[in-house]
A and B are shown apart, each in its own frame.
Chain A
């Protein structure tokens, strides 16, 4: 199944961020929850069903545009499973986000569980204007408890003002690679969080996470843990030492 959903958020005359265009297409359902000023968190939209959790054969894409000065929080609702499906060639999900000057986007999906027979490509492309801000996260759980993960290629591309800040492609790989202490060191959960805000952090390094300022601006937090509860805790710890961490939607404790 090929489906395309889209979402546009802009500022209205009163300074509130409002949803101007919204098109859901199964299995991608967008639910506007709130409008609001940037100070109060802006517009909130829930993504039910996820572009990262389709069935085999699906080709899902979501296009998001955040207008100048507007703020959007796009949030996932439940953990999703990358499952095998009916079609050949695996599944693909892509999200393209454009943020205009002074705009802000936070994209905070729930974890994706990569099941044993998954064959999935996830692509996230974020293009920011010079003064735009962004925070986005990816949490990958490599197999349900005791399960080997299937095939996954997750790519992230982030540009600001046409300059590349992050190009990232992660594949869990075979068991031998996952066990290598240069790749995953046997960790089952990989969480990444990118923050491009007003201030960038100093590097911070702990045994299972690191807050890393990127060369072109912004930062990447990398977390490797055995479970999602610990991963969230580490993300929160990284937020606590990020100079802009207090302006972001808090990392909610694991359910």
Chain B
């Protein structure tokens, strides 16, 4: 009997790990603002927040991570990265969300250049300066040997909820077991979203799906306003 091969690469696991030093620990993805509003104060509300975040921002990020992985794997010319960048900008109307995505993208790029260097990563960097987070994640994983848009999308979707869950533990002193369970309760939906993102990974950038989360946009903008006025612990 041949030993079973793992289907998930170490690179994917490392990028999805909260210990990956790409600056993610300082982003709450709107959770801090929701806590200040009083709309998230316990584990049950956290679960609802994460559910919505996964289906909105998480699905959007997964689509672009899968598309970038697909593009990096087939070796696109550098101007493809400009197109993806502009298309994700157009799907991110809140300036605060664009800034948060680029800040995490820049941090992930910095860490990724040490961990998983590639020509595609250098070209992405040269073309976009501070790239969006999902695009960096896609390039890091797509340019490597693993090249699975579905795994890339799953990692990205997971990152969209694991950070806010950790922020909730830090801000509210939630039971970490409950917060963690709120994340893993979404595993089937995460897999569906990843599979759907992988299905559209080869689309032209302009035709990639768009997913809006109007309430999250308002939270992100309010977070920035309140940070200026009274200070916030998290960068988003």
Contact = CB atoms under 8 A, between A and B. Distances in A.
A170 B214 contact: yes
B216 A182 contact: yes
Contact of A163 (B86, B96, B222, B225): B86
A212 B95 contact: yes
Contact of A190 (B91, B96, B214): B214
A5 B51 CA distance: 41
B80 interface: no
A249 interface: no
A173 interface: yes
A182 B222 contact: no
A216 interface: yes
Given A170-B214, A183-B52, A205-B225, 4 more contacts: A167-B87, A180-B49, A180-B55, A182-B53
Interface in B1-58: 30, 34, 37, 39-40, 45, 48-49, 51-53, 55-57
Contact of B55 (A167, A168, A183): A183
A184 to B, nearest CB: 6
A177 B52 contact: yes
A169 B209 contact: yes
A155 interface: yes
Contacts of B87: 164, 167
B218 to A, nearest CB: 5
B51 A213 contact: no
Interface residues of A, number: 38
Contact of B222 (A158, A205, A214): A205
A183 B214 contact: yes
Contacts of B221: 203, 205, 210, 212
Interface residues of B, number: 41
A107 B76 CA distance: 39
A51 B93 CA distance: 25
A183 B93 contact: no
A203 B95 contact: yes
Contacts of A169: 209-212
Nearest to B228: A205
B215 interface: yes
11 contacts: A164-B86, A167-B90, A180-B55, A181-B219, A182-B57, A183-B213, A185-B39, A207-B37, A210-B217, A214-B89, A216-B86
B98 interface: yes
A220 interface: yes
Interface string B75-113: 000000000001101111111101000000000000000
A84 B225 CA distance: 42
A28 B52 CA distance: 36
B214 A216 contact: no
Interface string B184-213: 000000000000000000000010011111
Interface string A170-213: 10010011011111110100101000000000010111111011
Interface in A216-233: 216, 220, 222, 224
B210 A182 contact: no
B224 interface: yes
A179 B45 CA distance: 10
A182 B213 contact: yes
A215 interface: yes
B182 to A, nearest CB: 13
A146 B2 CA distance: 60
A207 B38 CA distance: 13
B95 A213 contact: yes
Contacts of A190: 214
A241 B220 CA distance: 19
B160 to A, nearest CB: 10
